[in-house]
């Protein structure tokens, strides 16, 4: 158990990047870079103790500097979509980058996974952590407020990977942070994830228009292919002629979770029968974006493996997409001087 570091090369700006390798007593390892605060590798034992890297990603820093698919990415200042790339706070309109047609996706083309972070490590009984921090200056990406950001990744001896986000702004602003890792519990190099099984504790999802912008309505999952209240194969319903499935090209939807927002609660799971690996997801956030890698197109990743459509699945815990423009959604506005603090845990068994 412990933390080691390894050089990861230089960015195109000449910045020295480092890999932080966290290992617990069971041999499970999580590897992060201070460039982008990204999750690079996640080695998890199967039922026989054999370790496999279960997240899609790259081998080199240069590839993470591009990373159009957001492998392992720390996403901010506002994850998911903002309609029309504009919003209003306190009567003032702000315009952000329209990097997905006329909408803003994940804060713009330069999300929080494209910056260098200060790093600090901690070793405690039963847990090892790396903390990444930086100041996101006022109007970076078009968002108001100097935002102090800290994201802490903790690996415990219970095979939990906890992600804690903490921010404070000097102006009222939007904050909606998430992690965009693509999971494949059979191993990043094992092909399609559709044979694995998923479960989501949600009775509804946010309906969208053709541009994947929420309409403001919540749609009941009962009697639809969107129903994951009982664990089922990811392949079940993913090619159905259901409107939401057609619009997303598969699963690419925000689920309205059955949570009270007080503490991190169990909200979802992913299971691979072949390896016996089970991942449970816990969060205090109101939503989770389930994305089944519908638009992966021959992306060359680790070890030269070519990642294709649906070879990984994301569980992006979040505030609802475009929440700033829907009064009936949980608000992403964080007031001046107010702490934004949230936790998501991925637990492996």
**What CA–CA distance (Å, rounded) separates 162 from 82?**
27
- Phi, psi of 276, deg, nearest 5: 85, 5
- Phi, psi of 112, deg, nearest 5: -70, -10
Give the H/E segment covering residue 249: none
Contact 195/233 with Cβ under 8 angstroms?
yes
Return the closest-CA partner of residue 193 out of 335, 81, 55.
Answer: 55
Distances (CA, A) of 300 to 59, 67, 250: 10, 11, 22
Would you name the residues annotated as active-site residues?
180, 316
- Eight-state DSSP code of residue 217: E
- Eight-state DSSP code of residue 141: G
């Amino acid at each position: 158990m412990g933390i080691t570091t390894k050089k990861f090369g230089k960015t195109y700006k000449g910045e020295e990047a480092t890999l932080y390798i966290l290992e617990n007593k069971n041999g499970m390892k999580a590897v992060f870079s201070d460039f982008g605060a990204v999750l690079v590798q996640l080695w998890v034992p199967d039922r026989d103790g054999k370790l496999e890297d279960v997240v899609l990603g790259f081998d080199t820093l240069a590839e993470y500097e591009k990373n159009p698919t957001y492998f392992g990415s720390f996403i901010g200042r506002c994850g998911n979509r903002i309609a029309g790339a504009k919003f209003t706070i306190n009567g003032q309109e702000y315009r952000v980058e329209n990097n997905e047609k006329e909408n803003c996706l994940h804060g713009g083309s330069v999300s929080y996974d494209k910056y260098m972070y200060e790093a600090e490590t901690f070793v405690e009984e039963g847990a090892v952590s790396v903390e990444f921090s930086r100041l996101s200056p006022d109007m970076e990406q078009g968002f108001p407020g100097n935002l102090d950001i800290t994201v802490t990744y903790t690996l415990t001896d219970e095979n939990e990977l906890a992600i804690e986000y903490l921010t404070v702004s000097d102006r009222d602003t939007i904050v909606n942070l998430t992690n965009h890792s693509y999971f494949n519990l059979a191993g990043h190099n094992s092909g399609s994830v559709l044979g694995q099984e998923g479960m989501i504790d949600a009775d509804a999802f946010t309906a969208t228009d053709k541009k994947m912008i929420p309409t403001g309505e919540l749609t009941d999952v009962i009697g639809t292919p969107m129903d994951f209240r009982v664990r089922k194969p990811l392949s079940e319903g993913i090619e159905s002629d259901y409107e939401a499935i057609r619009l997303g090209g598969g699963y690419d939807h925000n689920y309205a979770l059955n949570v009270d927002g007080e503490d991190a609660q169990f909200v979802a799971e992913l299971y691979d029968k072949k390896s016996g690996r089970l991942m449970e997801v816990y969060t205090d956030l109101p939503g989770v974006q389930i994305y089944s890698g519908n638009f992966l197109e021959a992306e060359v990743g680790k070890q030269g493996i070519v990642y294709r459509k649906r070879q990984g699945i994301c569980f992006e815990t979040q505030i609802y997409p475009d929440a700033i423009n829907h009064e009936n959604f949980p608000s992403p506005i964080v007031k001046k001087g107010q702490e934004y603090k949230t936790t998501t845990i991925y637990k492996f068994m």
